[in-house]
Amino acid sequence: MKMTQQLEDLRQAMQQQGFHAWIIPSADPHLSEYLPKHWHTRRYFSGFTGSVGTLVVTKDKAGLWVDSRYWEQASHQLEGSGITLQKVGQVMFFPEWLAQELPENSVVGCASDMLSLTAQRQLQQAFETKYIQLNTSADIANTLWIDRPPLPSEAVYPHHSNFVSESTGEKLARIRQAMKEQGADGHFISSLDDIAWITNLRGNDVPYNPVFLSYLFITSESAVLFIDETKLNADACLLLEQSGITLAPYEDVPSTVKQIVGTLLINPDKTAISVLQHLSDKVRLIENINPSTLFKSIKSSKDLEHIREVMRQDGVALCEFFAEFEHNLVNNIAMNELDIDTMLYKYRSQRPGFVSLSFNTIAGFNKNAALPHYSATPDSYSEIKGHGLLLIDSGAQYLGGTTDLTRVVPVGNVSPEQKRDYTLVLKAHIALAETIFPENINATLIDAICRKPLWQAQCNYGHGTGHGVGYFLNVHEGPQVISYLAPQNPYQAMKEGMITSNEPGLYRPGKWGIRIENLVVNRAVSQPQEIEFGRFLHFEDLTLCPIDTRLIEVSLMTENEIRWLNGYHTKVRESLLPLTEGAARDWLLQRTEIITKG
């Protein structure tokens, strides 16, 4: 099969430097999910443009490990590259694959700034029976990258004080108390959303995520932010000074780490070994989740007030968008998948407090919607015409919060099979939306409640049901994740104030895809029937956008499910009607009409 020039160059360098295999994860030194272009190394060597995946190259083989969201996309993009698609969940994972493929005493390389402490240990454990050495001393992949983009240098600014419910100093005090309780002298933080939350600063170094490249080192008496100081505006510098945070160059992390003494708190999943390799052997590590990750997952009552207002503003923009979209359909005005993103941006950017989109809009028509993370490009997109289903997954960043929702709408005529699938997904969505559950239950355990209607029809979907969402921060954040596929850990306890997505789906490869997504917040049951069994929570729907009833096969719905849907649409109508006018108002009224079983 045809080899790309990049792979040939990489294999030559591997041979010259004594490596039998090379691993290129989707990662940066901060172990981020979404990366600045400077760290799109895996994309450069594989041609695969999805956000998550691991490329492994040996002397005569190459494989790309991706989960089910990307199987269809990867199969197309890898064609003719000499790289084999490895479907995570159906094949041996790459550490075990390497241990099987390589002879004893082989050497496997990976860049130290793309490997967490946890990942390093997993690889070493997989390799030990064959005495395979993991060598992270070189970074041969990036040295081969021609015209590598520079580090981003976007401005860093304070999150507007009107939207901040807790000062930087107060957040530092909470973190220091958590450090004290764990016996830590220092706490080193690499994860960008944690740093943005702690400092109450925002940036634009990562597309769609208002974060900035930096590290933060906290002790009981001091805090140092490692950052390119030229990126900070005057207000940001003043905020840091008032909070007792000093500045150091981004590149000075190794020299500072060398001087750390005592006990150091780190998150082993979120700290690259490129940082830890500079630590003295005398430093004792305390490995735990960053306290800020838990703190920021629980939104305050003031945060939630802002988020609810953002949802109203976002809902108005969606009414305006869908009114124009349906007008264009009726009047045979040409539209394609790329136009959806443009139209959504037009209306959202007019709303108060809008900053940017929160991710690249997913607009997939018919078979493209069967790719959960499909992305139309100027070179590859579909016209929206004829008959079928259009899936739209979109969101925005506002000063008062982050939005993320998915809706499916009919184009032309739809089949009974499409209506059945849509109704099954809606039943799954409602099953989770109306659930009451014990406080502190592990989020992974409630996934089965959502999937029950689909499982009963012997259907399923490969992605998780829910992810945490930030407060004018990353659209994906932890620690909670609603997915039976995710490993359980004690940090996934569901607590009041957490915002999570509710997004079951059903995908028919080559035909259509369906997903219905709202954001919900954990709220305490206001009038508990019992008290002896502990505290219980329920979900409050935050997203305000009609769920298209034209695609429902009402005969499959229960009276209770219809009651829930009508109640949701009543809430959407009452919340948005005072803010809409003209065609958007007419669309809202039409799409929130009551439905009945009869």
Query: What digits encode the pLDDT tens for the residues 500-527?
Result: 999 999 999 999 999 999 999 999 998 7
User: What percent of the chain shows pLDDT beyond 90?
Assistant: 91
User: Is there a single domain that holds both residue 576 and residue 428?
Assistant: yes
Whether residue 149 lies inside any domain: the answer is: no
Whether the per-residue pLDDT at 248 is higher than 80: the answer is yes
Region of poorest pLDDT, from 42-51, 331-340, 523-532: 523-532
User: What percent of the chain shows pLDDT beyond 70?
Assistant: 99
User: Is there a single domain that holds both residue 86 and residue 223?
Assistant: no
User: Is there a single domain that holds both residue 253 and residue 383?
Assistant: no
User: Is there a single domain that holds both residue 359 and residue 432?
Assistant: yes
Q: How many domains does the chain have?
A: 3
pLDDT for the residue 102: 97
Region of poorest pLDDT, from 184-188, 370-374, 546-550: 370-374
Structure confidence at residue 450 as a pLDDT band (50, 70, 90): very high
Cα–Cα–Cα angle for 396, 400, 405, rounded to 5 degrees? 35
Whether residue 32 lies inside any domain: the answer is: yes
pTM of the complete model: 0.95
Residue 86 identity (one-letter amino acid): Q
User: Is there a single domain that holds both residue 132 and residue 168?
Assistant: no
CATH number at residue 399: 3.90.230.10
User: Is there a single domain that holds both residue 304 and residue 368?
Assistant: yes
pLDDT tens column, 65-94: 998 888 888 988 899 899 999 999 899 999
- String of DSSP letters for 514-581: EE-BEEEEEEE-SS-S-STT--EEEEEE----PPPGGG--GGGS-HHHHHHHHHHHHHHHHHHGGG--
- Cis amide leading into 479 (omega within 30): yes
CATH number at residue 238: 3.40.350.10
List, in sequence order, every beta strand (DSSP E) within 346-441.
Answer: 354-357, 362-365, 388-394, 396-398, 401-402, 405-411, 436-438
User: Is there a single domain that holds both residue 285 and residue 309?
Assistant: no
pLDDT tens column, 92-137: 999 999 999 999 999 999 999 999 999 999 999 999 999 999 999 9
Whether the per-residue pLDDT at 2 is higher than 60: the answer is no
Whether the per-residue pLDDT at 472 is higher than 80: the answer is yes
User: Is there a single domain that holds both residue 224 and residue 333?
Assistant: no
Return d(Cα 58, Cα 100) in angstroms, integer.
12
Return d(Cα 480, Cα 21) in angstroms, integer.
35
Whether the per-residue pLDDT at 458 is higher than 80: the answer is yes
Q: What secondary structure letter does DSSP report for 206?
A: B
Structure confidence at residue 3 as a pLDDT band (50, 70, 90): low
Are the C-beta atoms of 592 and 569 separated by less than 8 Å? Answer: yes
Q: CA nearest 211: which of 223, 199, 219? A: 199
Return d(Cα 368, Cα 374) in angstroms, integer.
7
Q: Which of 245, 269, 293 is at the close of a domain?
A: 293
Whether residue 277 lies inside any domain: the answer is: yes
Residue 402 identity (one-letter amino acid): T
User: Is there a single domain that holds both residue 137 and residue 179?
Assistant: no
Q: Which of 143, 169, 196 is at the close of a domain?
A: 143
Return d(Cα 488, Cα 180) in angstroms, integer.
26
Q: Which of 115, 143, 171 is at the close of a domain?
A: 143
User: Is there a single domain that holds both residue 465 and residue 529?
Assistant: yes
User: Is there a single domain that holds both residue 361 and residue 425?
Assistant: yes
Whether residue 441 lies inside any domain: the answer is: yes
pLDDT for the residue 1: 39
Whether residue 151 lies inside any domain: the answer is: no
* Most distant CA atoms of the chain, gap in Å: 74
Whether residue 597 lies inside any domain: the answer is: no
Whether residue 596 lies inside any domain: the answer is: no
Are the C-beta atoms of 471 and 404 separated by less than 8 Å? Answer: no
Whether the per-residue pLDDT at 598 is higher than 80: the answer is no
For 187, the domain range is: 157-293
User: Is there a single domain that holds both residue 362 and residue 495?
Assistant: yes
Whether residue 82 lies inside any domain: the answer is: yes
pLDDT tens column, 214-230: 999 999 999 999 999 99
Return d(Cα 365, Cα 375) in angstroms, integer.
11
